[in-house]
Amino acid sequence: MWFDESRLDDEHALAGVDAALRTLAESGARVRREAGAAGEASASRVDEARQRQRPRAVLAAGPDARLLRDVLESTCPVPFVAWPAPGLPGWVGSLDLVVMLAPQGSDAAAAGAVAEAVRRGADVLVACPPGSLVAEHAVGRDVVLLPTDTGDPLATAVVVLDFLASAGLGRPADADDVAAALDEIAVRCSPLRDIAANPAKEAALGLAESAPLVWGGSPLAARAARRVAEDLRRATGRAVLADDADQILPVVEAARARDVFADPVDGDAVVRPALLVLDDGNEEAHVRERAGRLRAAAAAHDVRVVELAHTGGSDVARHASLLLQGRYAATYLGLGLVDGDR
């Protein structure tokens, strides 16, 4: 495989990924759509939630449950747990709140966990499509159902965060802020913008002949890094590592020297790492120190550094922006890779 950068600005080549690019461009619209539907459904339940006794703990499950934890863990007045396994832990009971994110609504394990939470008498907050398998099990006096219909995990997480904030259990994601940030990225990364003015196309070019190492310094940037790495793997078929600085640093330091005479088309070139940094503007000392170590090692070992940044708005908006930029970059990277025979 080799990278043909001309395909990134070729309208005929871009037509082949039009559906994927449209899905990315509509990210902000999906957040607004889910926020509007959830707002209408939950308005009457927010006051009720505020009047209830504060739960002993909150347990979140489903896609992006860890995103909820990363956002709320430092501000939630009670312990907040992201549960990765099927079912519920044994300690969940009538004093607790179970939050189920089920954007597709068809997961039998999620439906079973909701039914079990209802049986144990816990307060339950479910975000899923009305009429879905999960919704059928989300029935009870202490159940709040936030209707969703886009199937978008991020949009679903945003409306749940805003509901929990309204109930006094953390700070809001601010759906309008997140949607506006996603719209901004859709404009900046539009296929109509050429490589010189498009951060996603520029990132794809920087990662074209490499095995990407993806790093984000803050918890939310690190979460975006893991999701972006998944998209890069699908786009390239290459090994892509997203991890902490301590795990990425040895890979950078072990990079083999670049062979300027190798012919990538004939398969002579060794695939070398490139460092993709997701910068959300976090200025904490430990983040700056790790970023400095990674950049210094990359410079010492001739490893290219590619950066995607979004430093304005709320923390969730910055996370969403980095995630969307990375997904655009993965799409353009897949578009530019062609068989060596072509």
Q: Tell me, yes or no, whether 120 and 200 share the same domain.
A: no
Single out the residue in 157, 173, 189 at which a domain terminates. 173
pLDDT value of position 309: 95
β strands within the chain, DSSP E: 2-3, 58-61, 80-83, 97-101, 123-128, 143-147, 210-216, 241-242, 272-279, 305-309, 337-338
pLDDT digits (tens, 9 = 90+) for 257-276: 766 555 555 555 568 999 99
Is 342's pLDDT higher than 70?
Answer: no
| 34 belongs to a structural domain | no
If asked whether residues 242 and 141 sit together in one domain, one would say no
**Is 75 within the bounds of a domain?**
yes
Residues 288 and 320 placed together within one structural domain of the fold = yes
Residue 15 lies in domain: 2-26+178-338
- Under DSSP, the state recorded for 98 is E
Q: Same domain for 263 and 196?
A: yes
Say yes or no: 135 and 215 in one domain.
no
First to last CA, the chain: 9
pLDDT tens, position by position, 222-251: 999 999 999 999 999 999 999 999 999 999
Same domain, 273 and 140: no
Residue 44 domain-assigned? no
The residue from 155, 173, 191 where one domain ends is 173
The average pLDDT across 167-173 equals 90
Beta strands in 92-238 (DSSP E): 97-101, 123-128, 143-147, 210-216
Shared domain for 224 and 251, answered yes or no, is yes
- Decide if 31 is inside a domain: no
Mean pLDDT of all residues in 215-228: 96
Give me the pLDDT at residue 271, please.
Answer: 82
Is the same domain home to 192 and 330?
yes
Residue 2 binned pLDDT confidence (cut-offs 50, 70, 90): confident
- Asked if pLDDT for residue 186 goes beyond 80, the answer is yes
Q: Does residue 166 belong to any structural domain of this protein?
A: yes
Residue 311 has pLDDT above 90, yes or no: no
Query: With 60 as the cut, is the pLDDT of residue 334 above it?
Result: yes
Indicate if the pLDDT at residue 305 is higher than 70: yes
Banded pLDDT at 34 (limits 50, 70, 90): very high
Based on the domain organization, do 309 and 192 belong to the same domain?
yes
| Residue 176: pLDDT over 80 | yes
Residue at 38 is within a domain: no
Among candidate residues 121, 143, 173, the one where a domain is terminated? 173
296 vs 142, more confident:
296
Structural domain contains residue 35: no
DSSP string for 11-72: HHHHHTTHHHHHHHHTHHHHHHHHHHHHHHHHHHHHHHHHHSPPPS-EEEESTTHHHHHHHH
Question: Average pLDDT for residues 172-191, to the nearest whole number?
Answer: 96
Asked if 184 and 329 sit in the same domain, the reply is yes
- Which pLDDT score, from 0 to 100, does residue 21 have? 98
The enclosing domain of 247 has a CATH number of: 3.40.50.10490
% of residues, the chain, pLDDT over 90: 82
Query: 40 in a domain, yes or no?
Result: no
Read off the pLDDT of residues 56-74 as tens digits, 9 standing for 90 and up: 999 999 999 999 999 999 8
* pTM for the model: 0.92
Q: Within this chain, do residues 305 and 197 fall inside the same structural domain, yes or no?
A: yes
**pLDDT confidence of residue 287:** 95
Number of domains in the chain: 2
Q: Are residues 187 and 234 in the same domain?
A: yes
